[in-house]
């Protein structure tokens, strides 16, 4: 199993999500991030499980998790997490992974 890599933007996204949840419940924020990272680890086992979304970026894939969407690229057997966004966002208008 390969280890997933995170862009700087994806790390910032996780930190912002954690901070947002922690405003009301710090324990839930920690649990959410732990569960989220477990999903990412499983994603590394099956990198092509997400839906291909070339309208977002070439070779971009999207996998939902709770209210969020994990935007990533499967590169060979590796996974690069590019962005994590709330599901209500307009995905085609997101910055490209090269902007991270």
Cα angle, residue 85 at apex, residues 24 and 42 outer, rounded to 5°:
95
Q: Is there a contact between 72 and 82 (Cβ–Cβ < 8 Å)?
A: yes
One digit per residue, the tens of pLDDT, for the chain of length 100 reads: 678 999 999 999 999 999 999 999 999 999 999 999 999 998 988 898 999 999 888 999 999 999 999 999 998 888 999 999 998 876 655 555 554 4
Supply the pTM of this predicted model: 0.85
Q: So where are the chain's domains?
A: 5-88
Q: Which CATH number does 5-88 carry?
A: 3.30.2310.20
């Amino acid at each position: 199993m390969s280890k997933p890599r995170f862009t700087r933007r994806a790390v910032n996204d996780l930190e912002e999500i954690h901070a947002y949840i922690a405003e009301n419940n710090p324990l839930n924020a920690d649990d959410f991030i732990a569960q989220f990272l477990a999903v990412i680890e499983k994603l590394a086992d099956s990198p092509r499980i997400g839906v291909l979304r070339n309208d977002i970026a070439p070779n971009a894939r999207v996998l939902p998790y709770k209210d969020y969407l994990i935007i990533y690229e499967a590169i060979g057997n590796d996974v690069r997490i590019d962005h994590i966004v709330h599901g209500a966002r307009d995905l085609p208008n997101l910055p490209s992974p090269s902007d991270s």
